[in-house]
A and B are shown apart, each in its own frame.
Chain A
């Protein structure tokens, strides 16, 4: 692993840390790829090379105001961001697993599926577009992209879609204190990650699960939606709606107020009269709000496959610190 870093303090208040790294892991313990005619489980060997390369940046600034009305106000602000790129340098033969693929030159478990470019609005549009598999495509069904340009849509039109790993991980933090009040906050976010979710809670009526409210805007001849296709029933939904495609790929980027603490320490001169050295009351909150486009419950628990991963809790707590 190569790491080039820089740690700088400027003007006494600014701290800057920057790291660039390039890590190549080789001889990875894995099952070798053996042809099926051998008929035995593949031996575990050291093989394969993976590369991770990225940048991490961190900035903090802290200061205290010494004159004026706000004298005594201390604060510090910080921001961190990092970017990582993962690549399979040497994997072997391509392996497709459902909607992911492992192939040389691409990130591990890259997303691999059809691209949806819209929703058919009329039978004329269906007729003039490439034939999609052997479906009986109707207006209101998903329209896939003919990636290889051969005039028909089939499994060969699946491509690698970016976003299995985030482009950026970042966070902001701030803390401040002034005359007995203290405040700290941490915001954390992820940018550029996609999550594939299908099945229960996404495909309407799978094993009785009710559809989500966005299906109220589904395509019907009276409501020619360009965003939600025709609705089909559950587990038996035809492949033309259920097959892996970018329709089920959601942007799981988010920015979340991870933690907020606001407290007040009652002045010592008052509390000492009761024999208490220090009395602080505080409010603390976790996961207070989230900015995200993800339609599921928790983009941080997006995982893959099922929409309804149990989300993290929002926590509100109030407390008292007493020191005798």
Chain B
């Protein structure tokens, strides 16, 4: 008798606040939260020796409808979140109490539709054609067919437009952990930036213009965090002016194993090619720059290298050193999300760092990318990138770039700035360079093998089986 029966719930605003918390909680499964580094292990950024999410299988091309891992959990957990949103909305519509004002109703609806859009974007960007579910389902109508991806995209933008119009104009950092209108704008920009590149990598200017304008709005409300690492550390996240949306945790009841996974198990091990991608302090590539130090490769480098990657052990200074208990298959680990005060990391470590989903750094990059495609590398593009790089004391891009040159710099900058924040796969897919990039990764750990059909993942075979013929598999995976 530890759960509330539906018949006695949804009777007051307090009940709806609790239900709202449950909707936010649906964002917490590993693949959306502490596993964002593992999402980058599906790419050329890192290696997960435990095959979390079946990342090793994916990267080697041994990927099919029964592989499991994130292929199953992204599908299942997205629909769990969507179902919570649908139930919340249905109950909200049926609720006639006066303790929820009309204005509050709109805010509630805006918040949950943001979350529904987040999940449909996961489904859209990874599987493509999926069922569109906007009402709670039960055993009688559980067999749902899929719809065209374009319909899913329309639903995502419709939901986000509602959120943009009805959520608070406060920035996220003053909104008590609730999504704000600017959060929805930033997510919409991310969604459109993916959709803009369509099926072959050539961008759609109309969508990019929307992206640019949304980013401009958001950029006015947020400021870059003075220190890069403050974005990811618990004590400095609460009022951080850069965070536009985060998934929040709180020890001891809602804590994670983030520090243990990344700091003790080395579950997210950056490849050498990822480490090599960080520039030297003069802005030139490692190897080309005269500052290249092959004896100590962390010397004279973009400070984001040592704030993202550790070599062999986690070292925050005297008394704060952790030697991971697992082997370091690439020699490196990810330090970006680790909390120095939680050492030593182990099974009893309760990590409460919030997972940053949207931040100003990404918005600046989205702005620059969109504006560059529309109007070429103008002053605003240069300024956005200069501001982002100045935060880590890196020099601005040299003047006189062509659109193509700026595009390459921006793409590279995204890889560095957003490393292990779960966006590399998204980038490789939308730029349609996944094949050339992944098939050229050189590592002794495994053989990368990417086929074009992997631009979309198969629907889990268990779902095809349970639907009794109603849900049809992606034709590339028959």
Contacts and interface: CB of A to CB of B under 8 A. Distances in A.
Note whether A and B form a binding pair: yes
Interface of A: 32-40, 43, 93-96, 133-136, 154-156, 207, 234-236, 238-239
Interface in B282-338: 326-327, 329
22 contacts: A35-B143, A35-B466, A36-B79, A36-B460, A36-B463, A37-B133, A37-B144, A38-B79, A38-B137, A38-B139, A38-B142, A40-B83, A43-B139, A133-B60, A134-B447, A135-B60, A154-B64, A156-B64, A207-B326, A235-B50, A235-B327, A239-B62
A207 B266 CA distance: 13
8 shortest interchain CB distances as A-B pairs: A39-B83, A134-B61, A93-B465, A134-B449, A36-B76, A39-B79, A39-B80, A38-B137
A interface SS class = loop
A155 B458 CA distance: 14
B389 interface: no
Contacts of A33: 466
Nearest to B61: A134
A94 B465 contact: yes
B200 to A, nearest CB: 25
B118 to A, nearest CB: 14
Interface in B399-413: none
B62 A134 contact: yes
B136 to A, nearest CB: 8
A135 B143 CA distance: 37
Given A32-B139, A134-B62, A236-B327, 8 more contacts: A38-B138, A39-B81, A39-B84, A39-B133, A133-B60, A234-B327, A235-B50, A235-B326
B462 A236 contact: no
Given A93-B465, A94-B465, A37 B57 contact: no
A93 B462 contact: yes
A37 B465 contact: no
B103 to A, nearest CB: 29
A123 to B, nearest CB: 16
A238 B131 contact: no
Contact of B463 (A32, A35, A96, A154): A35
A100 to B, nearest CB: 13
B467 interface: yes
Contacts of B50: 235
A40 B80 contact: yes
B444 to A, nearest CB: 10
B433 interface: no
A298 to B, nearest CB: 28
Given A235-B49, A239-B62, A135 B326 contact: no
B interface SS class = loop
A268 B80 CA distance: 78
A275 to B, nearest CB: 62
Given A32-B139, A236-B329, A238-B446, A155 B64 contact: yes
B426 interface: no
B56 interface: yes
B207 interface: no
B131 A37 contact: yes
A197 B449 CA distance: 29
B175 interface: no
A136 B184 CA distance: 46
A239 B64 contact: no
A301 to B, nearest CB: 26
Contacts of A94: 465
B148 interface: no
Interface string B107-149: 0000000000000000000000001010001110011100000
Interface in B70-97: 75-76, 79-84, 86
B49 A93 contact: no
Nearest to A43: B139
A239 B462 contact: no
A39 B67 CA distance: 21
A155 B56 CA distance: 15
A43 B462 CA distance: 17
Interface string B32-64: 000000000000000001100000110011101
Contacts of B466: 33-35, 93
Contacts of B465: 93-94
Contact of A35 (B61, B86, B471): B471
B437 interface: no
Interface string B443-468: 00111010000000000111101110
Given A32-B139, A35-B471, A239-B62, A135 B144 contact: no
B28 to A, nearest CB: 15
B83 A38 contact: yes
A156 B66 CA distance: 9
Nearest to A93: B465
Contacts of A236: 49, 327, 329, 445
A33 B460 CA distance: 14
Contacts of A96: 66, 461-462
Interface in B2-49: 49
